[in-house]
Chain A
Amino acid sequence: MSFEHQDVWHWQIATYLFLGGLGGATVAIGAMLHLFESCDRKIISAAVLSAIGFMVIGTIFLLADMLQPLKAIYALTNPRSWIFWGVVFINLYFLAAIAYVIPLLKSWPHLEPYINKIPQVILDLLERFNRMAALGGATAGFLVAIYTGLLISSAPAISFWNTPALPLLFVFSAFSTGAAFLLLLFTFSREDGSSNIVEKLEQLDAALIVTELIILGAYFNFAFFLPTGARESAAILFETPMFVIGFLGFGLLVPLLIETYSIFFARHARGSTALMVTAGSLVLVGGFLLRYYVLHAGVFQYPW
């Protein structure tokens, strides 16, 4: 047996996986907050718009990494391929998220002239079905987030990726980055109810990080006990300081400690803003590092 690093998917694909997960999860969590909590519509609309932007940038990175990006029009040919489903989910996501965000943009007075250019019939329809679009966007966002993990877990010869734990890890990490991004935005909200939302997002993110740690524990336990490429990959990750200190330390444990402190002691006074911004930013950087190093540690186990 020989182990060789995969050398076709690099930081561009890691960026795509990160931004896809972040964009998907931000809309999913944002729409749930909008549907079930009374919260700052301005912030939700800013979050959904940024999420759409993340998805666009992620898709550009994916296309730029291809040999023939213009031929991506053929991507909807083979339903047995995860990329086929990725294209379906991302397109549904764009449709639902754009339909969902347009009525919310009315909360920004200087955007009103642009929105009023859309025919009134369409605006009325979008307003009427806004909750349905929110639900559609949330579902598509979840599907995009889980697709990023399913895509890379389908490689049979990269045994570290080819496990059921990877899509779970990616989806929980995506939701954690989504919660952290919303947390960052809500920290700057001036509305009264926002501190309540910040508190909820902190609790959600802390719970997601704990779940991520449990999955990581099970995942590495599994990888280290198998005499395959999975063990090789796990060893590579544990010998990479940016994974151990950068992702595990500063991307998971430090934000978890900050959020736990904030949940129990900070009482969401203005002074905790700096702490929240730090925790949120670290989770986002950690989310990228996870994907970058998991891709980097993908080793083929060749029979020679």
Chain B
Amino acid sequence: MARYGMVMDMRLCVGCQACMAACSMENQTPYWNGKFRTHVEDIEHGRYPNVRREMLPRLCMHCENTPCLSACPSGATYKTEDGIIRVNYDRCMGCYACSIACPYDARYPYDRKDVKTAEKLYGDDLSHQVPHVDKCSFCEHRVLEGRVPGCASTCPTNARIFGDLDDPESEVHQLSKTGKAKPLRPELGTSPKVFYIPA
């Protein structure tokens, strides 16, 4: 059993959004309606002329203490043995309790119209057959094959580092343990498994 996590090196992210495109292709997210499992926030700091731009890639934090999992009444949101938070599309009733509970804006509705469009685009390869609330799965299907998630694999600057947080040899373990990489909003007690190296 692993405990998968990701480290975002904000010094390296150039905001090219290749991660968003790769994720969308890998997971059939409704890009045609501007819905993605991962985003790159373009943040400006300061006031002219002393301004600084920062790129913050974000996705589901796969929290240890998971507010969305607690809020989900139907058990559609579940945690795998490897600590990945997933959604069972067939059990999701789309009540949005998880979206309201998530402090990281990681979820979006994959609604009836999105499913209709996806049916036309993907035909027999369709992976979202029913409406549900959708989110990042750390590309579990790839991880189980020994590959890294689509976003990390595509990132041209290697700003996304994926690995097992429990493996002392892994880069994600070392960066998170030394405190070089920190989670977002730790005060909420959600213990996210995505960490950030500040720019």
Contacts and interface: CB of A to CB of B under 8 A. Distances in A.
B130 interface: yes
Contact of B100 (A65, A70, A77, A152): A152
A74 B94 contact: no
Nearest to A298: B100
B188 A156 contact: yes
A67 B105 contact: no
A253 to B, nearest CB: 31
A62 B100 CA distance: 15
A115 interface: no
Nearest to A295: B100
A83 interface: yes
A71 B105 contact: no
B67 A156 contact: yes
A293 interface: no
A302 interface: yes
B29 interface: no
Interface in B55-84: 56, 58, 67, 69-76
Contact of A81 (B56, B73, B190): B73
Interface in A143-167: 151-152, 154-158
Contacts of B56: 304
Interface string A185-209: 0000000000000000000000000
A155 B101 contact: yes
B173 to A, nearest CB: 23
A156 B101 contact: yes
Interface residues of B, number: 40
Contact of B74 (A9, A75, A303): A75
A84 to B, nearest CB: 5
B111 interface: yes
B41 interface: yes
Interface residues of A, number: 36
Interface string A225-250: 00000000000000000000000000
A157 B188 contact: yes
Contact of B73 (A67, A70, A77, A302): A77
In the complex, which of the residues A8, A62, A151 has the most CB atoms of chain B within 10 Å of its own CB atom? A8
A81 B131 contact: no
A300 interface: yes
Interface in A64-89: 65-72, 74-78, 80-84, 87
B86 interface: no
B74 to A, nearest CB: 4
A70 B74 CA distance: 12
Contact of B109 (A67, A72, A151, A304): A67
Given A67-B109, A67-B132, A300-B105, A82 B93 contact: no
A303 B92 contact: no
Contacts of A87: 73
A84 B97 CA distance: 11
Contact of A71 (B74, B97, B100, B102): B74
Contacts of B177: none
Contact of B131 (A62, A68, A151, A152): A68
A66 B98 CA distance: 12
Contact of A68 (B43, B93, B97): B93
A287 to B, nearest CB: 21
A68 B134 CA distance: 13
B74 A67 contact: no
A77 B76 CA distance: 9
Interface in A1-25: 4, 6, 8-9
Contacts of A304: 41, 43, 56, 58, 184
Interface of A: 4, 6, 8-9, 62, 65-72, 74-78, 80-84, 87, 151-152, 154-158, 300-304
20 contacts: A4-B105, A8-B109, A66-B95, A68-B92, A71-B92, A71-B93, A74-B74, A74-B91, A74-B93, A78-B69, A81-B70, A82-B71, A82-B73, A87-B73, A154-B101, A155-B67, A155-B71, A155-B101, A156-B188, A157-B103
Interface of B: 41, 43, 56, 58, 67, 69-76, 90-97, 99-105, 109-112, 130-133, 184-185, 188, 190
Given A76-B73, A80-B69, A155-B71, 5 more contacts: A72-B93, A74-B74, A78-B75, A156-B101, A303-B185
